Structure 1
Amino acid sequence: MFFTLTKRKLTLFGILLFLLSSWSSSLSAQTDKLYLRNGTILNGTLRSINLGKINFDANDIGIVDVKITNARTLFATSFQYRVSTVHQDVMYGSILPGKDSGSIIFASGKDSVNVLLDDIVTLSKYRKGIMHQIEGNISAGYSFTKSSELGRINLDASLNTRSKNVALAFTGATITSIQGDSLARDLENASLQVSYYYLPDWYLLTYVNYQRNLSLGIGQRFQEALGTGYEFLKRSRMLASVGTGGILNQEKSLEGDRNYTFEIPLLLQYDLFLFSSPNLSFSFKQQLYFGISQKGRIREDGETRLSYEVISDLTISLVFYNNYDNQPPAGSVRNFDYNMVVNVGYKF
């Protein structure tokens, strides 16, 4: 009896070991591989490709960024991926090694397509549900001038997520001055934009925006916009888009006056990856507004950012904000304002 029970236990233990071994082998088989041109093979998980960089989580090394021209090919089946190319193609599937150096085979269902790595604009993990795709950045900075005893705190953050046809983007920034016991909220911006891609490069957009700018006399401004956009330049290291539509504004000046206006915007955005070592990226965003209900009024809001990635996911950024209004509200001290700040940020 004892021998029979022991034999059964050993049999069950053997089955358990076999299942664990099979499960472990299955996990190993799903490990992604990054093949470099110098012959090195990295095992781990492919995270993304963006602006000429392959972001790869390598086993025993950590997250690395590899210039796309240094990669020979890829194997990635840990996730389903979304890829967009310079040829305006958007595909969903897994990645197999390409036939030639500098290419991959993108497998989607029964179809497979050979894609040059240098033709990829963006590649990201794709999982059903927009909340599974969140990426973002948060950064902060501080400066102090001894002669005036003036300190300035600047914060900014961004969150981006995308499903098959819908993209969601949140951005926020604030600059606060501290002098003695007084505190002044000099600049505040917060925006939430939803874009629906009805074609690979064309999208409908809607967004809500909040602004505050003491120099231009804006106590608060709320904006609601509806329009369309077009990604007119797509390269492996750069992306540019333009948009327009209609905007409703509700303004309150520092003196308490309220104003309701309608404007036609021209929205421009340009992103560029400069080098892999040092790892630099550049973004330029300008928004022009032409007054319809308030004749002759022209406004401009802009942001220019140069970022250096010190180590993986840790950046130092030089940010320049510019604002212009040829008919600013009562209480403004000028019609043009600019701020330049240095931030230390973390990408997630």
Structure 2
Amino acid sequence: MVMLSRRLMVLTFVVLGIQPLYGRDKTDIVYFVNGDRIHCEIKKLARGKLTVKSIGFGTINIEWNKIEYIESEHPYQFELQSGIRYLGVVAPGEESGKIEVQTLAGTHTLDQARIVSIEPVQESFFQRLDGSINLGYDFTIASSATSWSLNAETTYVGENYDAKAAFNSLYKTQEGAEPVNRQNLDITYSRHFRDRWFSIGIGQIQKNDNQALEVRGLFGGGIGRRLVQTNRTTFSVLGGAALSNEKFTDTDFIQNIEIVGGVLFDTFRFNSPEIQITASALFLPNVLDAGRVRIQADAKLRLELFKDLFWQLGFFESFDSDPPSALSNRNDFGITTSFGWSF
């Protein structure tokens, strides 16, 4: 009878599209390994932290390895280190460290240590958004140089896909020199499959005065795989192809076909202060202009200051082995520091 009831709940919530998580009561229960428990609303599990909302404590983050098990009558999506995802209602397993998920296909017993993410089902659009914004300012007295940086990004997480938009801006002025303007807009869409495989679509718009690049638009896609996926670390590789159209200060628009190869890295430390390190690199050999290779790379170290406030150290690199413009620098790199807020 209990199993039938849970299947009916899954069918009602998931198939019929009812949204039970909006403003629902704090009826979930989290049991700690030390014997304590808390009545709350489970929001999500990400980066080894379970985010819950309770009446007495508000929104808090709990380290996943300090939790014995959880109970909830509401449907969630569970993702394992292997990349397999289950959508259903959760119940404590018969063994310690196990969680049973009742799906429409039946009951699945999951090893709690291998669960890397938990996402509520049928949330509103804005509840599925994560993001951050940060601003940096530097001034050098000796050279009268001023630098402003702005970084903003947001990610939407769906049931089997996610979409991300990121904007990066750097503006430098120096006495006796022309201002330098660097702008990047990146949009990616990823769809996830079994065994940690994913497909990806990439869109970019770029401007870089240091390389005499007035504008570059790029659209491409490919496939990739998360080679490492744990509660703290992910490492992915991808490959594909892209079309680009670019204009330099002293050239007309130039169309290119480029091969795309890339690596993505993300790791996280729980202990206070929390630290997150992300890095990515794209390698783009040109098919139409043999011998020309572009490299785009960036890395960020984010240090939590207080709750959602952070300090960030960033590095970027843009390399072009054979730029079409005689005014272009082959290499443009820099380091930025900024303060920001995550949501």
The reply to whether TM is greater than 0.5 is yes
Tell me which residue corresponds to 1:12: none
2:52 corresponds to which of 32, 56, 59: 56
Superposition pairs for residues 162-311 of structure 1, below 5 Å? 162-179=157-174, 184-199=179-194, 201-311=196-306
**1:224, distance to aligned residue in structure 2 (A):** 0.9
More off after superposition, 195-204 vs 210-219: 195-204
**Cα deviation digits, residues 80-99 of structure 1 (max 9, x gap):** 32221013320112332344
More off after superposition, 331-340 vs 258-267: 331-340
Tell me which residue corresponds to 2:342: 347
**1:313, distance to aligned residue in structure 2 (A):** 2.4
Decide whether the 8 Å contact of 2:250 with 2:327 is kept in 1. no
CA distance, structure 1, for counterparts of residue 105 and residue 251 of structure 2? 63
Residue 87 (str. 1) matches residue 82 (str. 2): yes
Tell me which residue corresponds to 2:65: 69
CA distance, structure 2, for counterparts of residue 278 and residue 232 of structure 1? 28
More off after superposition, 94-103 vs 256-265: 94-103
1:334 corresponds to which of 309, 329, 335: 329
More off after superposition, 53-62 vs 215-224: 53-62
The alignment's TM-score, normalised by the length of structure 1, stands at 0.83
CA distance, structure 1, for counterparts of residue 38 and residue 61 of structure 2? 12
Decide whether the 8 Å contact of 1:128 with 1:163 is kept in 2. no
Tell me: CA distance 1:295–1:43, structure 2 relative to 1, closer, same or farther (3 Å): same
Instruction: Name the aligned partner's letter for residue 265 of structure 2.
Output: Y
Helix, strand or coil at the partner of 1:87: coil
Q: Considering only CA atoms, is the larger Rg found in Structure 1 or Structure 2?
A: 1
CA distance, structure 1, for counterparts of residue 92 and residue 306 of structure 2? 28
Decide whether the 8 Å contact of 1:214 with 1:332 is kept in 2. no
Helix, strand or coil at the partner of 1:164: coil
Helix, strand or coil at the partner of 2:34: coil
Tell me which residue corresponds to 1:122: 117
Helix, strand or coil at the partner of 1:276: coil
Decide whether the 8 Å contact of 2:28 with 2:41 is kept in 1. yes
Residue 36 (str. 1) matches residue 11 (str. 2): no
Tell me which residue corresponds to 1:14: none
CA distance, structure 2, for counterparts of residue 221 and residue 131 of structure 1? 31
CA distance, structure 1, for counterparts of residue 156 and residue 286 of structure 2? 32
Instruction: Name the aligned partner's letter for residue 272 of structure 2.
Output: S
Decide whether the 8 Å contact of 1:241 with 1:269 is kept in 2. yes
The alignment's TM-score, normalised by the length of structure 2, stands at 0.84
Tell me: CA distance 1:111–1:314, structure 2 relative to 1, closer, same or farther (3 Å): farther
Tell me: CA distance 1:316–1:112, structure 2 relative to 1, closer, same or farther (3 Å): farther
Tell me: CA distance 1:121–1:157, structure 2 relative to 1, closer, same or farther (3 Å): same
Helix, strand or coil at the partner of 1:215: helix
Tell me: CA distance 1:283–1:87, structure 2 relative to 1, closer, same or farther (3 Å): same
Tell me which residue corresponds to 2:18: none
Identity %: 21
**1:157, distance to aligned residue in structure 2 (A):** 1.4
CA distance, structure 1, for counterparts of residue 43 and residue 310 of structure 2? 18
Number of residue equivalences: 321
**1:290, distance to aligned residue in structure 2 (A):** 0.8
CA distance, structure 2, for counterparts of residue 180 and residue 62 of structure 1? 50
Helix, strand or coil at the partner of 2:211: coil
Tell me which residue corresponds to 1:22: none
**1:282, distance to aligned residue in structure 2 (A):** 1.3
Structure 1 portions without partners, runs of 5+:
1-25
Decide whether the 8 Å contact of 2:84 with 2:194 is kept in 1. no
**1:31, distance to aligned residue in structure 2 (A):** 2.2
Tell me: CA distance 1:62–1:150, structure 2 relative to 1, closer, same or farther (3 Å): farther
**Cα deviation digits, residues 146-186 of structure 1 (max 9, x gap):** 22222211111112113333321111111112447998353
More off after superposition, 174-183 vs 98-107: 174-183
CA RMSD for the aligned pairs?
Answer: 2.5
